[in-house]
Structure 1
Amino acid sequence: MAVWRLPFVLLSLLGSAIALQERVLESRAPGDGETPLIAAAWYTGWHSTDFPLSRVSWSKYTHITYAFGITTPSPELVALDASDERLLTEFVALARENVGLGSASNRTTFVNTILNVVRRYNLDGIDFDWEYPNMQGLGCNIVNPDDTSNFLSFLRELRQTDRGRDLVLSAAVYVTPFADASGSPSTDVSGFAEVLDYIAVMNYDVRINQSVGAGSRSPLDDSCAPAGAKWGSAVTSIEAWREAGVPLNKLVLGVPAHGHSYDVSPSVVLSRSNSSLLVEYPSFNPAARKRGDRWDGEGGTDVCGATDGPGGVYTYWGLIETGFLKQDGSVGDGIVKRYDECSETPFLYNPESRVYVSYEDARSYAAKGDFIYSTGIAGFAMWEAGGDYNDVLLDSIRHASLNGNPGARTRSSRESGGTQAVVPTRNTATSPSYRNNVPIVWGSLITLIYTCVFLTLR
């Protein structure tokens, strides 16, 4: 079984498939100057036994991204069978040898390679997943000061081709804008908004500070977090990309269908005055992290040669299967729950196993959906479709994103005196889409999209 962190190792081309529903979403159908909601999720081939394609709720999505395809050391070759465990291992091994695309010849060669794959498999688009240009991701990345500018040059060249003009081009990105030549977040990434149809900001697996304690890994708002624990939230990350030049109608909020667990002592996390209450930011023992649900990896040695233990990851269904939650989403027997109204994050704790989990539920997804609706961003993208249970999370965020649900958001950043929320821009002028300047009807396509992940474009 693949380790959860592998999809986020930014070292190679990740193949993906997008399936767009055959009917347009009704509630937020496009009006004057408005585009319909993007409702997206990733589908992982290596989980297809437990979650076959037949279980995907196709009619509720606009995009389903298949993970993953593979780059090779040559810009002339792309491998597609990444759902095979052997090829996933090969994908990691090849990542260290990933070819640079900074030279004009390599960029042109790789553009042609992608277009050949598009034609061969009748694809409608490309999705690029490169979180850390000119930054360390895994720890042994080769970085170049020109990574971001080279990436943009590559995208422009791809977009300028006859076939590229008609492609749906998107990107999945980190919570801060791409690094500039100095290594700091870029103040102007507007060029990417000009060539991409949308950008998915991955507000999940957000870092935590061990010295502060276990907190939310996908906070809607972190303005109430203690000093040293503010590593990015939906509010701050969307605003950061907007301030760097990406219009709100080009931004999609990445949301997780999984949570992260920690080994926490009952004496630390349970309130001394009431054992049915959990304290905020409990200290934890990183060396004692246990395996999460049956989709979680056992750990091992990564491509940098560093060893690590289990991921401690629980999907939403995994929390039900392991007894943290009941099938209706209520708390399992012997489990203690806390909901943080600032970050809009639920937490679970099992005193017997000492496992403390930061995760997402229907309430937190509704809060994120209301944020999407009220700010006017383009939609959401869930990692991953198979992590949900009977569409509990999907239905919650989709409904709130389409219709709004202000009651779901118990605290706003304005109320907390922290970072201000982005200004709603529903029904305002939008950035141009492509396909020969024809407006996108997201619900009318059946799409297979490729996700390209690069370590370096040097």
Structure 2
Amino acid sequence: MANVLRWIPLILFSTSALVLGGIKRGESDPIFSAWYTGWHAEDYPLSDVSWSKYTHMIYSVALTTPSASVVEVGVSDDALLKQFVQLAHQNNVKASLSIGGWTASQWYSSNVGSAKNRTTFVNTVTTLAKKYNLDGLDFDWEYPGLQGIGCNAVSPEDTANFLSFLQELRTTITGNKLIISVPVAAPFADASGSPSTNVSAFKDVLDFITVMNYDTGSNSSFGVGPNSPLDDLCAPISGQRSSATTEIDAWAAAGMPLDQIVLGVPAYGRGYSVSKQSAYKSGSILAPYPAYSVSNTPPGDKWSAVGGIDVCGINEGPGGVYTYWGLMEEGFLNTDGTIKTGIAYRYDNCSQTPYVYNSTSQVYVSFDNAQSFAAKGGFIRLKGLRGFSMWEAGGDYNDTLLDSISVSIPLAAIPSVNAGAPGEATLYQLNTTGSQPSASPTASSSSRDLRHNSGQWRSFFTVIALCAWICSR
């Protein structure tokens, strides 16, 4: 039954694309993906992964090093990565390994910075792929030509060198067979540091890019905004800088085909310290873009970084991250996805973002729920994108987010974002009523650990998809 359920949304996605645009059968298969983080394996073991609902999974993470001949896989990751690949293959899921990330991109620039190093790095990553029987490599360089965490090696030639490395990788027997992906924000920086206006050469060496549509919407200059906005035209002018729409349109304009773009989606939100005076407007209605304290970030849930000295030697504060299940453990949401008593709620129809606020702790959270993930699925469908990849698999609860986006890709649309002309009040009207989101029928009300019931429920959304498929026969 699990195998049947897995293919229902994929069949609907592929066949409907023949009529309505998007991914076409035989040209590019849809991608239903997530990252699996090895450092959370104790809380979220591989046995908890709903393998049958994915087409691809990416193990995070291997580290770049000062030597192009070494990509570091941790001692604890070695056995876990082998098990990850084995389970993926047993479930007909493609298994990739992510290299780099926010805290481990320091040495990408030097590793691809010369012809000699590029050849060495090609040999290193292909050897790694063969050792672990990988189907793909996910080069998470944050970011070519730009500083990321603060102590990365950076060169104006990074983007050109990265392209040369990928081209050389594709000339090898192993590299030519691999699924090669790259998580991205704006188009790669050119030699001047500006987003490239022509990335078309990358389409020939990459299977897809993943636009990381998260950690984008808040700034001390304009307040708490959406963590993962589909659009940002309703934001203050200074906040109209990054959304799924703007970033994907920029990549497409620069020459990346839409069916080689995957939407990165977060199974988490970010919390901010917001006073009661700033949090509300008109009494009990939550205000959009409230001011927040830059120096007092909430701790987040138990998976959130606690702070301390980072890889650059900088003392960082707490992360303020709340996974979807963490919002339940921390008292913002019930396990069916509805809002806890005493918690204020707001849904922004423009960016498709829910917010919650605890007036006692004075924590204001921008996050994602089933409604916003359904909107993201509709967005993927209407834009003709390749699919989605979720950071991270373990952040979901009972597959609520995964099921919502998976079924919404073939079935749903998002009229609040895609109807009318820009600037129309009906298009960008904010839902400030505080009304409850729909309850998730997949949730359990009795669980000592909110993450460990995912294998015991089947989604109501999947049943809808099954009925639609049968009726169309």
Which residue of the other structure, out of 119, 125, 135, is the alignment partner of 2:136?
125
Deviation at 1:274, TM superposition (A): 2.7
Q: In the alignment, which residue of structure 2 is the partner of 1:430?
A: none
- Aligned to 2:372, what secondary structure does the other structure show? helix
Q: In the alignment, which residue of structure 2 is the partner of 1:141?
A: 152
- Aligned to 1:252, what secondary structure does the other structure show? strand
Query: Distance between the aligned counterparts of 2:202 and 2:382, measured in 1?
Result: 24
Deviation at 1:94, TM superposition (A): 8.0
Q: In the alignment, which residue of structure 2 is the partner of 1:77?
A: 70
Q: In the alignment, which residue of structure 2 is the partner of 1:399?
A: 407
Matched-pair contact (CA < 8 Å) for 1:28–1:36: no
**1:41 is the counterpart of 2:31:** no
- Aligned to 2:382, what secondary structure does the other structure show? helix
Classify 1:83/1:259 alpha carbon distance in 2 versus 1 (closer, same or farther; 3 Å): farther
Which residue of the other structure, out of 365, 378, 403, is the alignment partner of 2:373?
365
Which residue of the other structure, out of 280, 285, 300, is the alignment partner of 1:292?
300
**1:197 is the counterpart of 2:207:** yes
Classify 1:200/1:82 alpha carbon distance in 2 versus 1 (closer, same or farther; 3 Å): farther
**1:375 is the counterpart of 2:383:** yes
Q: In the alignment, which residue of structure 2 is the partner of 1:415?
A: 421
User: What amino acid is aligned across from residue 411 of structure 1 in structure 2?
Assistant: V
Which residue of the other structure, out of 217, 231, 240, is the alignment partner of 2:241?
231
Count matched residues.
390
Deviation at 1:122, TM superposition (A): 1.5
**1:246 is the counterpart of 2:256:** yes
Query: Distance between the aligned counterparts of 2:288 and 2:305, measured in 1?
Result: 27
Classify 1:94/1:396 alpha carbon distance in 2 versus 1 (closer, same or farther; 3 Å): closer
User: What amino acid is aligned across from residue 125 of structure 1 in structure 2?
Assistant: G
Classify 1:149/1:414 alpha carbon distance in 2 versus 1 (closer, same or farther; 3 Å): farther
User: What amino acid is aligned across from residue 381 of structure 2 in structure 1?
Assistant: Y
Matched-pair contact (CA < 8 Å) for 1:205–1:217: yes
Deviation at 1:91, TM superposition (A): 10
Matched-pair contact (CA < 8 Å) for 1:221–1:413: no
Deviation at 1:92, TM superposition (A): 9.5
Matched-pair contact (CA < 8 Å) for 2:217–2:229: no
User: What amino acid is aligned across from residue 356 of structure 2 in structure 1?
Assistant: L
Matched-pair contact (CA < 8 Å) for 1:126–1:169: yes
Matched-pair contact (CA < 8 Å) for 2:217–2:225: no
Q: In the alignment, which residue of structure 1 is the partner of 2:198?
A: 188
Classify 1:130/1:413 alpha carbon distance in 2 versus 1 (closer, same or farther; 3 Å): farther
Q: In the alignment, which residue of structure 2 is the partner of 1:313?
A: 321
Deviation at 1:211, TM superposition (A): 1.6
Q: How does 1:329-340 map to 2 (within 5 A)?
A: 329-340=337-348
Matched-pair contact (CA < 8 Å) for 1:223–1:413: no
Q: In the alignment, which residue of structure 2 is the partner of 1:222?
A: 232
Matched-pair contact (CA < 8 Å) for 2:189–2:195: yes
Q: Which runs of 5+ in 1 are unaligned?
A: 1-20, 85-89, 422-458
Deviation at 1:93, TM superposition (A): 9.3
**1:274 is the counterpart of 2:283:** yes
Matched-pair contact (CA < 8 Å) for 1:73–1:94: no
Matched-pair contact (CA < 8 Å) for 2:212–2:264: yes
Q: In the alignment, which residue of structure 1 is the partner of 2:11?
A: 26
Q: Render the CA deviation track for 1:69-88: whole Å, top value 9, x for unaligned.
A: 1233222222222756xxxx
Q: Render the CA deviation track for 1:340-361: whole Å, top value 9, x for unaligned.
A: 0101000000000000000000
Query: Distance between the aligned counterparts of 1:52 and 1:409, measured in 2?
Result: 38
Classify 1:151/1:337 alpha carbon distance in 2 versus 1 (closer, same or farther; 3 Å): same
Matched-pair contact (CA < 8 Å) for 2:343–2:359: yes
Which residue of the other structure, out of 266, 270, 276, is the alignment partner of 1:256?
266
Q: Render the CA deviation track for 1:4-32: whole Å, top value 9, x for unaligned.
A: xxxxxxxxxxxxxxxxx996832223655
Query: Distance between the aligned counterparts of 1:92 and 1:260, measured in 2?
Result: 17
Q: In the alignment, which residue of structure 2 is the partner of 1:169?
A: 180
Classify 1:127/1:413 alpha carbon distance in 2 versus 1 (closer, same or farther; 3 Å): farther
Query: Distance between the aligned counterparts of 2:269 and 2:64, measured in 1?
Result: 29
Deviation at 1:60, TM superposition (A): 0.7
- Aligned to 2:295, what secondary structure does the other structure show? helix
Deviation at 1:302, TM superposition (A): 1.9
Classify 1:83/1:326 alpha carbon distance in 2 versus 1 (closer, same or farther; 3 Å): farther
TM-score normalised to structure 2 length: 0.78
**1:327 is the counterpart of 2:335:** yes
- Aligned to 1:417, what secondary structure does the other structure show? coil
Matched-pair contact (CA < 8 Å) for 1:45–1:82: no
Which residue of the other structure, out of 44, 51, 64, is the alignment partner of 1:58?
51
Q: In the alignment, which residue of structure 2 is the partner of 1:211?
A: 221
Kindly indicate which of the two structures has a greater share of residues assigned to helix: 2
Query: Distance between the aligned counterparts of 2:261 and 2:197, measured in 1?
Result: 16
Matched-pair contact (CA < 8 Å) for 2:37–2:61: yes
Matched-pair contact (CA < 8 Å) for 1:370–1:409: no
Q: How does 1:84-103 map to 2 (within 5 A)?
A: 99-103=110-114
Query: Distance between the aligned counterparts of 1:116 and 1:315, measured in 2?
Result: 35
Classify 1:94/1:339 alpha carbon distance in 2 versus 1 (closer, same or farther; 3 Å): closer
Deviation at 1:337, TM superposition (A): 0.3
Work out which structure has the larger RCO, using CA pairs closer than 8 Å and 6 or more positions apart in sequence.
Answer: 1
- Aligned to 1:298, what secondary structure does the other structure show? coil
Matched-pair contact (CA < 8 Å) for 1:256–1:384: yes
User: What amino acid is aligned across from residue 143 of structure 1 in structure 2?
Assistant: V
Deviates more, 1:197-206 or 1:294-303: 294-303
Query: Distance between the aligned counterparts of 1:377 and 1:139, measured in 2?
Result: 32
- Aligned to 1:116, what secondary structure does the other structure show? helix
Q: In the alignment, which residue of structure 1 is the partner of 2:439?
A: none
Query: Distance between the aligned counterparts of 2:134 and 2:251, measured in 1?
Result: 28
User: What amino acid is aligned across from residue 372 of structure 2 in structure 1?
Assistant: S
Query: Distance between the aligned counterparts of 1:208 and 1:73, measured in 2?
Result: 34
Query: Distance between the aligned counterparts of 1:298 and 1:164, measured in 2?
Result: 38
Deviation at 1:140, TM superposition (A): 2.8
Deviation at 1:219, TM superposition (A): 0.3
Query: Distance between the aligned counterparts of 1:413 and 1:120, measured in 2?
Result: 50
